[in-house]
Structure 1
């Protein structure tokens, strides 16, 4: 009996040993072994992992028999995911990775506030990287955002040229611009800030259309733009100079970047500097500028310190200084010009983030603090024709000052439940407090904006991977805003179905609100009818509420040398108590608009198609086209005395973009870009010689075409490259040709490309 029991134990132990296997193989790319590829097996409540060596070989040992999910991934290559049944003592599996020419494996953070691959994110995230900004010769953020589906950047003033971003048909105040994930872009900063952020400050831009994540402010109804500033990654430097000729007006830009990291890789810093000087430009020869003169000086730095493998401290600081002048092209004080706008901005932005991971990296705690201070001296005025008014005007010219302070602090806790009904679920909980103070005064106009907004937000979010094919992102945000009577709850949910690794179906429902306050364009004083127009808030203004739906399909197909894909998205947003500006007549200074609620609300809906392709990294094509409508339920009086209209002003029903890059080798690069904008409804106030009565106008469609070519000479022995580049923006000179002239022009009657045909040349000295 004892011998029999011993025999059974020995047999059971031998069977147990026999039930374990070794999985091995070689991973290659373009016929060559690839080192440091991560190979992981997940299943039966266990995980196994290894990295390939210099021969591309990997080995996983002591793998119990059973069913597993195999993941093979390396940055720069398309990941492989497949099911694997281990039932042999030795499994040999070899793989070939395809290069990720379309950035399908990029890791993003904006959709969920945690690192996640684009193809695994329940919220659709689009990327603009620094190479794209360089290929389209973007001098600043404003010029780069035009090359994204569903986005449109427009110039809204003939005199000062402030810009605003429209996402999915909604104007700037419906979108949230973040700096390193922090909402420190105040309402006043939004007027000129997109032109003040230089392109060489930016590492990448993550764009989320719609409000699919509960972690950001409920005001992100149209979407979120997260500007990730340059990150310390390796020791490097980059110095450049660009000269642009804007139909005779000179534009000089000097930029520089440098990064230093210690030998252990635990600390580093990256620095940027940018100086721009642009002359004014007069398109219709009336001695009044269509492009203002600019003087920009910007500098800043990012730092990181990693005291342990599980802790990281990041900080950034930036200083943006700008002077701009538009109007009559004359020397001397601004108030002696026939008509002019003068702005001097001094902007300081900073943020600090601390993160510690614990519980075997399944949990993390994040604390952050961010802020910005903007000081502004400004002038907006027009010389009166009446002699008595002129004496009063010269005695008290309409100079003004602005001060804006934005402070934000927050805490966030992430925890991954690794066996939540058998799969992973990342729970995120946190809170943040934002205080934004705007003081803008022009005593001569009896104009004062003294606005302080305070918002306490708490958020809870679940990012649950129900299976390898199904993901559910659900969350709730609670906001207590000092200008809103009640606490507002905003539920949001995003669902993703992945029938195959290269195909994703997404559905998102979100709600949001905007407080009854002054936003970007409300703070702009424009010229119209020989005077200045201003916006005031209706005393009975209440918060605006939104409900948004979107659905999309994303598909990409990769073969050995070719990758192509598309995304088709439909969106629908209903705005209850929608804000709008109604013309209520004139006062002693000019036109007056009242910001009111539309009782019937407004609806914005449409569809966006994205196309992308890459052949062997020689050709890269990207494009997007949006068809949409934006209508108020009740017609709006845009000009006193004219018919009310339902259409949103300055909002085309169709628009799009395309970029094509040709890279035959690492030295030569040519990029072609195109921006198309369809017709849009505009108002045109009388006052200029060309316009004797108030009227509506529908603009013509326009197409802006540009290209850039570069060649890099590699300097032997010093690991340095010298890049020479040049090109043309707006090749066909598709620029507005019916500007108003003279001091009584309607400065808001402006549409079309931001600048006429522009030639540019430049050079870069960069580390290789």
Structure 2
């Protein structure tokens, strides 16, 4: 009787409490950082080393479980009733997830379904070689090369498939806000902490994105405020005393909006002169970037995002004894650049039954700089608005849109007598026609009216043949155009002492391109994966503006090319994922670039013949330890020397930058990482007598000229040189160690 009473009490208690237990499993689980949330109760937990998590004492009823990982997000609804409920989250590997891309067609689509080839690089890829900005992070992307253009102030641009930086359009969340002035310094101000992924399109994208998207497009997609961690921190420092700090904060405002705040601070203030030319090897910098993105929660579940960023940078390079008191003077040479930038980006889905989106951006960029005694002060304001309508009718997937872009530009050069105001009105349309399960064709065109250049029409076509879900052939063809902003894009026109000659009113550049792509993915029974991505392309330019360093070595002549230029090549990407902890991303590109000017054919300056990149990771899961080996190798490229007497090599050697890193993780919250950058200690001064011409006389006080303006050899100047820092093809920063720590909640 006594036992029956105890049993009755227990049953009554259980019924009164009406509680259950949930046991979950993540499969497969490689000890990634993960947070599991029981939404209604706001309970959170983390998995154990086997990927198992438990919620005890759960009230009966319906519950939502949310799992969040770096590259994975999923929700499941479950119902419990006085029981122990088991739930399984199937996590596909990074390479097996059906990746969604937006860059190639301006709409979300599976990477395997888009007729335009798009390459994806996640934040995990960027962590394999930690850098403080997106410019350096792209050095391990196949066919993409960050090119330094000045030994003193370290200006740079992004080359895609051998084409110079101005032919590469860089967008943030699809908005064309990185252009002209910001292509020189703005790329270094985009911190990796803001990035969810990077999408790369190689070949013209002008029919969707307009001018500048001639050689390719890099779309930087920022993190979703809904999926970001509540708090994150990442700090690293190098043996050169470079310090970088990233902080991230997420908050929810009364179930009306999610806010993500990101802060990046970078400081390098220790002058180094390892090549003993009395000039800084690397530009000294102090910059801060503050980013805030809002995802508004609407009752109709439609999209509304708004983001803003403030960026400020103070950088200088020059003679080792330079300080700000010498700024703009002729006593000690220095190049000092102050950059201030504000950005606003937004996307709003109209509250109608159709998929109609309004996207907008606004930027203000101020630059106050001195290159020796040459002052360059410039301001650029850009306003952009775009309306798109996404509509599917039978087998037609349509996108119609219109856009307006306003640009204000002013500087203190003789090229800008009055401020330049540009208005561009655009209309574009594309139609992807699916003939059958295996075949589809995309037809697109864009009509722009530029108040300086009139009407410009840019069509494109793409064809996709999908043999299987993992075996795809694509061919793309299109045209492109580019409106040139000379002094904002050609930093060589400002630095050094070469005379700048503009011989005519520069016309818009035009191009056409053909790109063939084949993608093959192999999945094996042991859960390993192998992917191949092969592309071949041909691009032809007319009216191209290529700086002429050859006609007169002491001049840079800018004019539309009397002739044509072309670039062609082949690239291969290989992705491998094993079932024993080994991952590899390998790439190689072979290209041939030629320009024909007045019937004479030559290779453009700073264009490599071939390149290769790799990122190899090996994980020891039982030890929570991983190793990354990243690097690149580049073939010879022609360099800008100052005439026949210049003793510097006219062609670069084969060179390589390689890095290694070890990362230790614990508690799903902490990561400690460290390693060595530039293992081979490669710098461009190897086998060269010097890098900067006339570093001992930066103001050319002891240079003599003849009546035609040519430099005369003298005992003090036997090579007939003027001061010139443009001889650069690789980073001038040697081997260095680094160590860092990450933390996230």
TM-score of the pair, normalised by structure 1: 0.77
Contact kept? 1:683, 1:696, Cα under 8 Å: no
Pair 1:762-2:740 in alignment: yes
Distance 1:743 1:624 in 2: 43
Give 2:472's aligned residue.
Answer: 504
Equivalent-residue separation in structure 1 for 2:551 and 2:574 (angstroms) = 47
- Equivalent position of 2:460 in the other structure: 492
**1:540 CA drift (Å):** 3.6
Distance in 2 of aligned mates of 1:632 and 1:733 = 34
Does the 8 Å CA contact 1:547/1:575 hold for their aligned counterparts?
yes
Would you say the 8 A contact 2:529–2:578 is kept in 1? yes
Q: Describe the SS at the equivalent of 1:142.
A: helix
Say yes or no: does 1:366 pair with 2:331: no
Rounded to whole Å, the distance in 2 between the matches of 1:442 and 1:600 is 29
Cα 1:230–1:448 shift into 2, 3 Å:
farther
- 2:625 counterpart residue number: 668
Q: Deviations over 1:229-282 (max 9, x none)?
A: 222133421112211123xxx211121112224685x62111111111113322
3-state SS in 1 of match to 2:548: strand
Q: What SS does structure 2 have at the residue aligned with 1:567?
A: strand
> Of 267, 271, 281, which residue of structure 1 is paired with 2:261?
271
2:189 paired with 1:196: yes
Question: 2:281–2:732: 8 Å Cα contact kept in structure 1?
Answer: no
Change (3 A) 1:409 1:304: same
Residue of 729, 732, 740 corresponding to 2:677:
729
Distance 1:164 1:557, change over 3 A: same
The match for 1:428 is 399
User: Counterparts in 2 of 1:119-198, with a 5 A limit?
Assistant: 119-198=112-191
Match for residue 377 of structure 2? 401
Q: Distance in 1 between matches of 2:493 and 2:543?
A: 25
Structure 2 residue 207 is matched with structure 1 residue 214: yes
- The residue number in structure 1 matching 2:317 is 326
Distance 1:281 1:308 in 2: 57
1:576 matched residue in structure 2: 542
> How far apart in 1 are the matches of 2:351 and 2:96?
27
**Cα RMSD over matched residues?**
2.9
Change beyond 3 A, Cα 1:448–1:325: farther
1:223 is aligned to 2:171 = no
Residue 258 (structure 1) aligns with: 249
Superimposed CA distance per residue, residues 593-647 of structure 1 (whole angstroms, 9 cap, x where no aligned partner): 23212222111111101111001271110011110111112269xxxxxxx7611
* Residue 698 (structure 1) shift: 0.7
- CA drift at 1:371: 1.2
TM-superposed CA distance for 1:290, in Å, is 2.1
The change in CA–CA distance for 1:538 and 1:230 in structure 2 (over 3 A counts) is farther
In 2 relative to 1, CA 337–181 (structure 1 residues): closer, same or farther, beyond 3 Å?
farther
Count of matched residue pairs: 632
Shift of 1:592: 3.9
Q: Is the contact made by 1:681 and 1:696 (CA closer than 8 Å) also made in structure 2?
A: no
- Any idea what the Cα deviations from partners look like across 1:675-697, whole Å, max 9, x if unmatched? 111100012126xxxx9548870
Query: CA 1:29–1:489 in structure 2 vs 1: closer, same or farther (change >3 Å)?
Result: same
| One of 105, 126, 137 as aligned partner of 2:98 | 105
- Whole-Å Cα distance in 2 between the matches of residues 116 and 213 of structure 1? 20
Q: How does 1:392-541 map to 2 (within 5 A)?
A: 397-417=373-393, 420=394, 423=395, 425-441=396-412, 450-485=419-454, 487-518=455-486, 520-528=488-496, 531-534=497-500, 537-541=502-506
Which residue in 2 is equivalent to 1:713?
Answer: 666
Q: What does residue range 273-422 of structure 1 map to in structure 2 within 5 Å?
A: 273-278=263-268, 279-330=270-321, 331=323, 332-334=325-327, 335=329, 337-356=331-350, 358-359=352-353, 363-381=354-372, 397-417=373-393, 420=394
| CA–CA distance in structure 2, aligned partners of residues 103 and 329 of structure 1 | 51
Which moves more between the two structures, 741-750 or 563-572? 741-750
Distance 1:724 1:114, change over 3 A: same
**Shift of residue 169 of structure 1?**
1.3
Instruction: Name the CA distance, whole Å, in 2 between partners of 1:377 and 1:463.
Output: 46
Answer 1 or 2: which has greater strand percent: 1
1:26-41 equivalence runs, <5 A: none
Deviates more, 1:738-747 or 1:570-579: 738-747
Q: Give the structure 2 partner of residue 556 of structure 1.
A: 521
* Equivalent residue runs for 1:27-106 within 5 Å: 99-102=92-95, 105-106=98-99
Secondary structure class of the residue paired with 1:280 = coil
CA distance, structure 1, for counterparts of residue 468 and residue 91 of structure 2: 16
* Cα displacement (A) at 1:337: 4.7
In structure 1, the gaps of 5 or more residues are: 1-27, 32-53, 55-73, 78-95, 382-396, 637-643, 715-719
Structure 2: give runs of 5+ residues left out of the alignment: 1-25, 30-53, 55-68, 73-88, 699-722
Residue 545 in 1 paired to residue 516 in 2?
no
Q: State the 1:212 CA deviation.
A: 5.0
8 Å contact kept, 1:108–1:115: yes
For 1:630 and 1:452, the matched residues in 2 are separated by: 34
CA contact 2:350–2:358 (8 Å) conserved in 1: no
Q: Any conservation in 1 of the 2:487–2:493 contact (CA below 8 Å)?
A: no
Whether the 8 Å CA contact 2:291–2:307 is kept in 1: the answer is yes
CA distance in 1, matches of 2:675, 2:451: 50
| Distance in 1 (alpha carbons) for counterparts of 2:370 and 2:670 | 43
Task: Please state if 1:606 is matched with 2:569.
Answer: yes
Preserved contact between residue 172 and residue 520 of structure 1 (Cα < 8 Å) = no
Counterparts in 2 of 1:558 and 1:101: CA distance versus 1, 3 Å: farther
Q: Find the counterpart in structure 1 of residue 84 from structure 2.
A: none
| Secondary structure at 2:179 match in 1 | coil
Following superposition, the deviation at residue 743 of structure 1 comes to 4.1
SS of the residue corresponding to residue 755 of structure 1 reads coil
Residues 564/126 of structure 1: CA separation in 2 closer, same or farther (3 Å cut): same
